[in-house]
Amino acid sequence: MTDFGRQRLGVNIDHVATVRNARGSAYPDPLRAALLAEAAGADGITAHLREDRRHIRDGDIEALAAALSVPLNFECAATPEMQAIALRHRPHAVCLVPEKRQERTTEGGLDVASDQNRLTDYVWPLREAGCRVSMFIGHDPRQIEASARIGAAVVELHTGHYCDLHAEGRFAERDAELEGLRKGAAFAASLGLEVHAGHGLTYDTVGPVAAIPEVRELNIGHFLIAEAIFTGLGPAVERMRHLMDAARDPSA
């Protein structure tokens, strides 16, 4: 079996900002959360700057870019405004996601196949600036192939449907969705894409996804921030890190 190396954990700190913004206060500070996650073993920090600034704000991106010693994964919609912000800060990674104003959270993957020409032009300046560009997509082979064609370095497979099926007790459908993720990850890797995964993962669902050998990184946020209310962010990140490692090497 190919050795794909240690799997990375990216911690999304968006919903620290959600709590802050609920009161219009200066706390809790997303940067403080990012630094705590980093100290607890996070390999990177993810922050999604939405067009409506519902959680992360421009000042948060500036603070994260200046202070982090681990890579910053800047999630955004593929708009001219977000491209300009990414080019100004030049984060380690730019993950392009679909975005709708009315949604609570990102509901599905980006339709790369239907927007190849525009996305090819959009991705090129980011690549030239040294950013690793990722497409947040489902495991549909058409979307994976299109992501490779437009010059993305990474695909991040959307695990939300798998997690929803698990929560609803629809285990046969969950297992079929997991198999789709496995096949999608293998196909993407065969095309030379680095494979990440994320959305909705919890302690109960992370293991089977972490065990997919081609998945090099998991990005997890909402659950860890929620769990931090009860255990603290450091212990929550440490436990997730342990479960990921155990899924890769049960003897560890």
Which residues participate in catalysis according to the annotation? 48, 75, 199
Amino acid at position 105, single letter: T
The half-sphere exposure of 98 on its side-chain side, counting CA atoms within 13 A, is 17
Q: Which amino acid is at 61?
A: I
Answer whether 149's CB lies under 8 Å from 114's CB: no
Alpha helices in 97-159 (DSSP H): 116-128, 141-149
**Distance between CA 147 and CA 10 in Å, rounded?**
21
DSSP summary character for residue 214: T
CB count within 10 Å of CB 91 equals: 28
Strand runs labelled E in 44-145: 44-48, 72-76, 93-96, 132-137
Q: What is the DSSP letter of 6?
A: P
